[in-house]
């Protein structure tokens, strides 16, 4: 059964500009792939025409269109008039509710894989439109690497890949509702026309030597009751040698970037030892070329 990795992301920077006329929130963000990944297995369905059969090793996940994998497959069927079906199995590694984009990544990989599996003639631009209909982060995962996200995050533009870094992702024992976090953020921040930091992004700012100086997340103040723990985790990552540390997306995961693997290993051990029920995951950043090789070339080769 062909298997495709579904990589997580972190947000190297995230600024909240204010409410939009459509009810969503205007943001500026820098997406960055990391090599923490779920795995998705695909094969044609033989039970009946058009059946999407979803299973997972995580029993908490719904198996209907509340799951972004099923939603992505269904949207692709409707958009193309396809009567193909598929059996899809998800092996889950990316923590849910951490701001790491696991569900969005799963949706994007499903679109890419089923386009190939079903032999659909669908241009990348059309696939990106379908991705945006599923969620603001989904279009990013069609490309990977380091990208600027505008609008709700669905408008994505490639940036020079940030310096390779070792990563520790600290996952506290609580989840953050994205909708609630953005709602609180809109109440805390004054709308403004331009972004304070991210617009000055350049390759110089995406380097360990400069300390990833653009790395901020204005949603941290909107995490809610867990904000104290988030702040302590971020501070501890810096204390243990992180050149930068930040909340990812709307949280609750906090990441630290390290220049050396040994530093990152020690930091992960310290987080596990000092913070009860908090996971510390070790991974690395992933550039766009490697992302394409592991996702798109796998699909092209195996499907």
Q: Where are the domains of the chain?
A: 3-159+288-302, 166-284
Residue listed under structure tokens 């963000």: 29
Residue 225's region, left for phi above 0, alpha for psi from -120 to 50, else beta, is alpha
The pLDDT score that the predictor gives to residue 265 is 98
Which three-class secondary structure state does DSSP give residue 211?
coil
Of the candidates 14, 7, 255, the residue with the CA atom closest to the CA atom of residue 144: 7
Q: Beta 52-56 vs 86-91: how paired, if at all?
A: parallel
C-alpha span between 77 and 89 (Å, rounded): 18
CA distances (Å), 31 to each of 26, 63, 248, 249, in order? 15, 28, 10, 9
On the question of a cis peptide bond just before residue 252, with omega within 30 degrees of 0, the verdict is yes
Q: Residues 251, 226: contact at Cβ < 8 Å?
A: yes
The pLDDT score that the predictor gives to residue 291 is 98
Structure tokens at 84: 């193909």
CA distances (Å), 2 to each of 23, 86, 113, in order? 40, 12, 9
- Please give the radius of gyration of the chain, using alpha carbons only, rounded to the nearest integer: 19
The pLDDT score that the predictor gives to residue 203 is 45
The pLDDT score that the predictor gives to residue 210 is 47
Query: What is the CATH number assigned to the segment(s) 166-284?
Result: 3.30.70.890
Domain 3-159+288-302, CATH among 3.30.230.10, 2.60.120.510, 2.60.40.10, 3.40.50.620: 3.30.230.10
H or E segment at 132? helix 124-134
The pLDDT score that the predictor gives to residue 185 is 66
C-alpha span between 167 and 284 (Å, rounded): 5
Which three-class secondary structure state does DSSP give residue 9?
strand
Q: Residues 87, 53: contact at Cβ < 8 Å?
A: yes
Q: List strands edge to edge, sheet with 254-258.
A: 244-247, 254-258, 166-171, 279-284
- Binned average pLDDT, 10 residues per bin, the chain of 303 residues: 95 86 84 97 80 95 96 97 95 95 98 97 96 97 95 92 94 80 64 49 46 68 78 95 92 93 98 97 97 96 94
Residue 11's region, left for phi above 0, alpha for psi from -120 to 50, else beta, is beta
Q: Residues with Cβ < 8 Å from 101, sequence gap 6 or more?
A: 8, 9, 94, 137, 140, 141, 249
The pLDDT score that the predictor gives to residue 201 is 47
The two most distant CA atoms of the chain are separated, in Å, by 57
CB hemisphere CA count around 194 (13 angstroms) = 4
Q: Residues 24, 152: contact at Cβ < 8 Å?
A: yes
| pTM confidence score | 0.92
Enzyme catalytic residues: 9, 137
The pLDDT score that the predictor gives to residue 20 is 82
The pLDDT score that the predictor gives to residue 204 is 46
C-alpha span between 102 and 97 (Å, rounded): 9
């Amino acid at each position: 059964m062909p298997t495709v990795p579904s990589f997580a992301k972190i947000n190297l920077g995230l600024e909240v500009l204010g409410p939009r006329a459509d009810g969503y929130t205007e943001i500026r963000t820098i997406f960055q792939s990391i090599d923490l990944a779920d795995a998705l297995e695909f094969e044609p369905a033989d039970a009946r025409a058009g059946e999407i059969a979803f299973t997972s090793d995580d029993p908490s996940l719904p198996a209907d269109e509340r799951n972004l994998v099923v939603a992505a497959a269904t949207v692709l069927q409707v958009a193309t008039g396809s009567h193909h079906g598929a059996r899809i199995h998800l092996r889950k590694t990316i923590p849910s509710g951490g701001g790491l984009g696991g569900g969005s990544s799963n949706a994007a990989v499903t679109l890419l894989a089923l386009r190939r599996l079903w032999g659909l003639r669908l241009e990348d631009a059309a696939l990106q439109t379908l991705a945006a209909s599923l969620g603001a982060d989904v279009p990013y995962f069609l490309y990977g690497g380091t990208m600027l996200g505008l609008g709700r995050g669905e408008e994505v533009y490639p940036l020079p890949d940030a310096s390779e870094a070792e990563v520790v992702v600290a996952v506290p024992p609580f989840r953050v509702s994205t909708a609630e976090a953005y709602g609180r953020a809109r109440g805390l921040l004054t709308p403004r026309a331009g972004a304070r930091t991210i617009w000055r992004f350049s390759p110089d700012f995406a380097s360990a030597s400069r300390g990833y100086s653009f790395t901020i997340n204005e949603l941290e103040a909107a995490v809610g009751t867990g904000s104290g723990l988030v702040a302590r985790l971020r501070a501890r990552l810096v204390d243990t040698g992180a050149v930068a540390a930040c909340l990812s997306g709307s949280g609750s995961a906090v990441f630290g970037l390290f220049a050396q693997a040994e530093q990152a290993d020690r930091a992960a051990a310290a987080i596990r030892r000092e913070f009860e029920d908090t996971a510390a995951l070790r991974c690395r950043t992933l550039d766009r070329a490697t992302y394409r090789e592991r996702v798109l070339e796998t699909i092209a080769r195996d499907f």
